[in-house]
Amino acid sequence: MSSAIDDAVTTVDDSGFQARCLELLDELAENGGELVITRDGHPAFRILPCRERPRRGGDPKAFFGADRGRIEILGDIVSPMPAEWFADFGGVAEADS
């Protein structure tokens, strides 16, 4: 098994993975990075740990504002769409106001 610390990728062949599966998965869960399993010297699988996305303010139930600063709204998102926009959809009429 070879390991590159700078990019946190651990590579193991399929028989090595079979012999040390739980140990490798525990190590991956604890340290992060990724695990690449090779077959006949070629990458066959890539395993990544599941991570809960960090939330702002440390509140795991926080939802609103989680993407603040990463999304930019351009234009008016409140007013109804102009009728010309519906021509591309086979003349579907606007929703009644």
Contact 28, 35 (CB under 8 A): yes
Rounded to two decimals, what is the model's pTM? 0.47
Q: What is the pLDDT of residue 24?
A: 93
Residue 96 has pLDDT above 70, yes or no: no
pLDDT of residue 2: 46
Q: How confident is the model at residue 71 (pLDDT cuts 50, 70, 90)?
A: confident
How far is residue 5's CA from residue 50's CA, in Å, rounded to a whole number? 20
| pLDDT tens by residue, 4-60 | 443 589 999 999 999 999 999 998 888 888 999 999 999 999 998 886 555 555 565
Contact call for residues 1 and 12 (beta carbons, < 8 A): yes
Q: Where are the alpha helices (DSSP H) in 1-97?
A: 14-31
Fold type of domain 2-47:
YefM-like fold (3.40.1620)
